[in-house]
Amino acid sequence: MINVLIYRLVIGLYALGIRVASLFKPKAKLFIAGRKGLLDKIRQALSTEQRRRIWVHCASLGEFEQGRPVIEALRAKHPDYAIVLTFFSPSGYEVRKDYDGADYVFYLPVDSPRNAQAFVDIVGPSICLFVKYELWYFYLSALKQNAVETILISARFNKEQGFFKWYGSLQREMLDCFTDIFVQDQVSIDLLKSININHAIIGGDTRFDRVVKAAAQVAVLPIAEEFCEGYKILIAGSTWADDEQLLYNALPSLPTGWKLILVPHEVHVSHINEIVRLYGNDVVKWSDWNGKSDKRVLLIDKVGFLLQLYRYGTAAWVGGGFGKAGVHNVLEPAVYGMPCFYGPVFHQFTEAVELVELGGAEVINKPEDLILALVSFDNTDMYQKKSVAAKQYVLGRQGATAKVMERIDHFIS
């Protein structure tokens, strides 16, 4: 009981902190504004919906991309069910609020006994899917009390998480609310068994299915084709300031015949202007492209098509490897058979570690390392070996979506 009280206190303090932050932070403002009268909006939206419902919850955009293959498989195989998709974070909701793979897209009301029970009563899900990590005690309790089949997908656990600590009893209780837990590896299975959670299954990582499917959907980008024609291209995706500085320092020494496409993680005007000031006469913005340019750097100042851009690359720089949170998505470039480069902060991501071990990626600490690696690609056999390693790593790990769908089909039947 004391753990529940502490949990409620923490959630309350978090909500208060967000409210204060909303006075000066745009994302926090969206968080608050998006939840005004939210339960009434959900009730009204679903008031005429006659189909049974499947609820899918994602913390943010990354979790959505992880759950997306399952959502799309549900839509294709069970059109007689309405799909209700929720997000906790504005960075997920604001980007995907018009996603046509779901019938309804909402923010998730802040976790509380009242909100959770009201939401579950309104939505009335037959099945609920939580993606990867984000667990909410009162929602999971309400689902269990209402005997809703509740599945956690693409989860990965490590011994440092609260579930496995002396203070983690409430978190362990949350895990017990799931009907099934699909994890990515045997390590997770073993850790869960150590705390008497025995209903976990190795299901793999649905992101592999997602990137393979997305890469097969060819999108022609005329500006990219014009910029890239006749050149080898290093595409730097989801970059932060440290990545951008290293790439700028490497630019004068890029091997002959190479160009750079720079896709920053943050594309707000102030950051784009900072990059333009740094790169000076070497850069042209996507929005300023007029059909021809002698610039060596194309700066992408809009969002939403990094995966499609990777198709034009020879090699990829994946940003985030110099920051505390670590490297971003390495699967998106790897699926195209592009050797990948990233900074030294990557060990918390199994796929980034495995890609390095298999030779499909290389860790870069300074500009000189990058230049040497690009020069080595003059050796066609060297390049092909790394390219094949990257692509086969992704292609060989498909199938997680099918495993989840098999279980869902069992519940539905």
pLDDT digits (tens, 9 = 90+) for 75-84: 999 999 999 9
Both 88 and 233 in a single domain?
no
Res. 2 pLDDT band, cuts 50 70 90: confident
The answer to whether residue 84 sits within a structural domain is yes
Give the pLDDT band (50/70/90) at residue 92.
very high
90: containing domain: 34-205+399-412
386-413, pLDDT tens digit by residue? 999 999 999 999 999 999 999 999 988 7
Tokens of 25: 């932070």
Q: Domain check: are 163 and 70 in the same one?
A: yes
- Does residue 391 belong to any structural domain of this protein? yes
Q: Which residues pair with 283 in a beta bridge?
A: 297
In this structure, the answer to whether residues 65 and 120 fall within a common structural domain is yes
The confidence score (pLDDT) of residue 91 equals 87
Share of the chain above pLDDT 90, in %: 91
Amino acid 260: pLDDT: 98
Give pLDDT tens digits for 142-192: 999 999 999 999 999 999 999 999 999 999 999 999 999 999 999 999 999
Are residues 87 and 156 both part of a single domain? yes
Question: Is residue 355 included in any domain, yes or no?
Answer: yes
Mean pLDDT on 275-290: 96
pLDDT, position 413: 73
387 and 300 share one domain: yes
Number of compact structural domains in the chain: 2
Q: Which of 45, 34, 72 is nearest to 56 (CA)?
A: 72
Pair (179, 144) in one structural domain: yes
- What's the DSSP call for residue 109? P
Mean pLDDT of the chain: 95
- pLDDT-derived band at 115, boundaries 50, 70, 90: very high
Residue 263 φ/ψ, nearest 5 degrees: -120, 90
Position 218 scores a pLDDT of 79
Residue 9 within any structural domain of the chain? no
25 in a domain, yes or no? no
The pLDDT value recorded for residue 305 is 87
Full-model pTM: 0.86
Residues 158 and 270 in one domain: no
Answer whether residue 120 is part of any domain.
yes
Is pLDDT at 1 greater than 90 in this prediction?
no
Same domain, 218 and 191: no
Q: Are residues 124 and 260 in the same domain?
A: no
Instruction: Look at residue 27 and tell me if it is in a domain.
Output: no
Q: What is the pLDDT of residue 12?
A: 92
Give the residue numbers annotated as catalytic, written as ranges.
63
Kindly state whether residue 350 falls inside one of the protein's structural domains. Answer: yes
* 199 and 275 assigned to the same domain: no
| Residue 125, beta-bridge partner list | 53
- Mean local confidence (pLDDT), 246-264: 97
- Give tens-digit pLDDT for 103-113: 999 999 999 99
* CATH code where residue 153 lies: 3.40.50.11720
Whether residue 291 is predicted with pLDDT greater than 90 in this model: the reply is no
- Residue 367 CA neighbour count, 13 Å, CB half: 13
The neighbour count for residue 264, using CB atoms within 10 Å, is 23
In terms of domains, do 124 and 271 share one?
no
Residue 359, H or E segment? none
CATH number at 253 reads: 3.40.50.2000
What is the spatial order of strands in the sheet that 232-239 belongs to?
283-285, 297-299, 258-264, 232-239, 315-318, 340-342, 361-363
Asked whether residue 92 falls in the same domain as residue 238, the answer is no
